[in-house]
Amino acid sequence: MKVFNAMEPLVAEALNEYWSDINMPCKCEQCKNDVFAIALNSITPRYVSKDNGIAYVKAQYFDKQMKTNIVVKIAEATKKVAEHPQCANFQR
């Protein structure tokens, strides 16, 4: 079955856009991955079928309110990972 969560590319895009501005104790690939997963878990999924989904996703790029909501969720996820990093650099 061919579906995908239209929020994934939108959150990935915003995370990549702001990643250099974000302050965290560790900015390794796993910490970035954890921020991405935690942010997606706090955003209502919007699964669409792969055929007509791409157009749907593009339309969302122009939705300022959605973009703001995503950036807020990323900031919250960043805070959680900064407080409890799970990557190898912080495992004792």
Question: Residues with Cβ < 8 Å from 46, sequence gap 6 or more?
Answer: 5, 6, 7, 56
Decide whether 32 or 57 has the Cβ nearer to a second copy: 32
CA torsion sign, 15 to 20 to 22 to 24?
A: positive
**Footprint on residues 46-85 left by a second copy (CB under 8 A):** 46-49, 51
Q: In the stretch 10-39, what mask flags binding to a second copy with x, by CB under 8 A?
A: --x--x-------------xx-xxx-xxx-
We find the least distance from the C-beta atom of residue 57 to a second copy, in angstroms, to be 13
Give the Cα separation of 53 and 51 in Å (integer).
Answer: 6
Identify any residues that bridge with 47 across adjacent strands, giving them in sequence order: 5
Instruction: Using CB under 8 A, list all residues that contact a second copy.
Output: 1-3, 5, 8, 12, 15, 29-30, 32-34, 36-38, 40-41, 43-49, 51
